[in-house]
Amino acid sequence: MTIIKVADESEVISKLSTYVEKISNDAIYNRGKFYIGLSGGSVLKFLCESLPKINTDWSKWTLAFCDERVVPEDSEDSTFGVYKKQLIPKTELTEKQFIVLKQGVSAEAAAKDYTEKLKLAFNSEEFKFDLLLLGMGPDGHTCSLFPGHPLLSETILKVAAITDSPKPPPERITLTYPVINAARNCIFAISGAGKADMVKRILKDKEDLPSARVKPEGSLYWIVDSDAAAHI
Ligand SMILES: O=C1O[C@H](COP(=O)(O)O)[C@@H](O)[C@H](O)[C@H]1O
């Protein structure tokens, strides 16, 4: 694990640009494609600012979601809805490159459908992402994997439904650890004093919280600004 401490949110954003540019270009050079998993919450804002700055072959990108809320695409809670408005117009990406949630079905049906879409995208039963961009909530959750939730032990499903998310909205789908931990790279991007206690509990005290269970086969990076890193 590599912990990268930076001054502030703007440096989190520029560090993210550097890493995503390098990892995407390495993947495209070595395998001709780049598979990335995006998160919502604060990471969404960081990515909408950092991704347009990078130099890459956008046509080789396939973008999926580490988690997504089961809401209409035009809802402000829809993670894809925000990327559609705030990222796509600033890059050469097209909507077709995003693997999106099926609309108008239950969380369980959406998770099954998302699994099938990932099988097609990867042309495999194994979903090996080049990069997952992750956020961490103040309770230590990542993706839609929350402390104490039974989904933390999921080993069969690759994409699971959750209908009792403690953070609204309650219905979501999420990648599970077998997929997360198969990734070639995972990056957490964390900013602000509101995350400082949890950053300490995970990175210093090594508490067994959802974000601490991200231990990919590949590389793990935590980009943390000085407010979030205040206690480590
Ligand atoms: O609900 C969610 O929360 C986490 C963390 O969000 P943050 O705003 O505290 O950074 C996010 O990573 C996840 O994708 C999202 O659905």
Residues (pLDDT < 70) of the chain are none
Say yes or no: CB of residue 37 within 6 Å of ligand 1.
no
- Out of 143, 159, 164, mutate this one to test ligand 1's pocket (max ligand atoms within 8 Å of CB): namely 143
Burial of 167 (0-12, 13-18, 19+ CB in 10 A): middle
Contact 26, 60 (CB under 8 A): no
Residue 67 in contact with ligand 1 by CB distance below 6 A: yes
Q: State the maximum Cα–Cα separation within the chain, in Å, rounded to a whole number.
A: 44
Q: For residue 140, what pLDDT is reported?
A: 98
Residue 34: predicted pLDDT: 98
The CB of 119 under 6 Å from ligand 1? The reply is no
Element (H, E) at 222: strand 219-225
CATH topology for the 2-225 domain: Rossmann fold (3.40.50)
Residue of 16, 45, 67, 190 best suited for mutating to test ligand 1, as the one with most atoms within 8 Å of CB? 67
- What is the pLDDT at residue 180? 98
Across the chain, what does the average pLDDT equal? 97
Q: What is the pLDDT of residue 173?
A: 98
pTM: 0.97
Task: Report how far residue 137's alpha carbon sits from residue 116's, in angstroms, rounded to the nearest whole number.
Answer: 28
Give me the phi and psi of 216, to 5 degrees please: -70, 155
Question: Is residue 43 in contact with ligand 1, taking CB distance under 6 Å?
Answer: yes
The rounded Å distance from CA 31 to ligand 1 centre is 30
190 Cα nearest atom in ligand 1? 10
CA distance 221 to 19: 10
Say what the pLDDT of residue 137 is.
97
The amino acid occupying position 196 is: A
Mode of pairing for the β-strands spanning 131-134 and 159-162: unpaired
Q: What pLDDT is attached to residue 194? A: 97
DSSP state of 73: T
The structure tokens listed for 160 are 């699971």
Q: In what order do the strands lie in the sheet with 34-38?
A: 2-6, 219-225, 185-190, 131-134, 34-38, 61-65
DSSP letter assigned to residue 101: P
Best of 16, 46, 70, 144 to mutate for ligand 1, by most ligand atoms within 8 A of CB? 144
Residue with tokens 């979501």: 172
pLDDT digits (tens, 9 = 90+) for 101-139: 999 999 999 999 999 999 999 999 999 999 999 999 999
pLDDT given at position 32: 98
What local confidence, expressed as pLDDT, does residue 27 receive?
98
Interface confidence: ipTM more than 0.95: yes
Distance CA 161, CA 144 (A): 9
Q: Look up residue 59 and give its two tokens.
A: 């046509």
